[in-house]
Homo-oligomer: A and B are copies of this chain.
């Protein structure tokens, strides 16, 4: 089987949410799996000197409209969260903890948490809500909530973010397919062609 697709995302990124909802079936159509790698967009924005999208004059208003239209275009439920943008360090740590300690629940946790944020306006960076969302999947919530405070885990997230930025990741979702970078939900058609016919 060919190498997995690397999928860098931020839990509070609307376009990450939309792409995450579509990438697995897309990858599977071409015999690929997906490695989901949470990062913190705030760090990447700092390096590249960008503002959060919704804070850019003119572009911010357009973006809110585009989030919703892009969701309808993709057929993915979406409701703009009241707290946006927001930091997602705890959600990202929870994902890393699950990938290390309870891997079969890591990707389902990601989907469920993003859905809770982007359709039910739940603050998925709060430990209590992380525990609750993971609990519905059968995860040992108490262990998870304790686990995300481990210094080694915190360090692993830092390293993952730094490594992503060092590889050029400045936004999310950001995918690598056989080393080729693709930024944005709107590049999934490029990804699909790349998977179907190789480099173009």
Binding site for B on A (CB under 8 A): 44, 47-51, 56-59, 61-62, 65-66, 69-70, 72-73, 165, 168-171, 181, 183-184, 186-187, 189-190, 193, 200
Given contacts A50-B59, A56-B49, contact A69 B200 (CB under 8 A): yes
Q: How far is the CA of A45 from the CA of B62 in the complex (A)?
A: 15
- Interface SS, A side: helix
Q: Which residues of chain B come closer than 8 Å to A171, judged between CB atoms?
A: 59
Q: Which residues of chain B come closer than 8 Å to A187, judged between CB atoms?
A: 66, 186
Report whether B62 and A181 are in contact in the complex, using a CB–CB cutoff of 8 Å: yes
Given contacts A47-B57, A57-B49, contact A62 B200 (CB under 8 A): no
Given contacts A73-B190, A73-B200, A189-B73, contact A181 B59 (CB under 8 A): no
Cβ-defined partner of A48 (8 Å) among B56, B189, B190: B56
Report whether A190 and B69 are in contact in the complex, using a CB–CB cutoff of 8 Å: yes
Q: Which residues of chain B come closer than 8 Å to A184, judged between CB atoms?
A: 186
Name the CB-closest residue of B to A65.
B181
Report whether B49 and A170 are in contact in the complex, using a CB–CB cutoff of 8 Å: no
Q: Which residues of chain B come closer than 8 Å to A170, judged between CB atoms?
A: 56-59, 62
7 closest Cβ pairs, A-B complex: A58-B170, A186-B186, A48-B57, A48-B58, A59-B170, A58-B168, A72-B200
Name the CB-closest residue of B to A167.
B58
Given contacts A66-B183, A69-B190, contact A58 B169 (CB under 8 A): yes
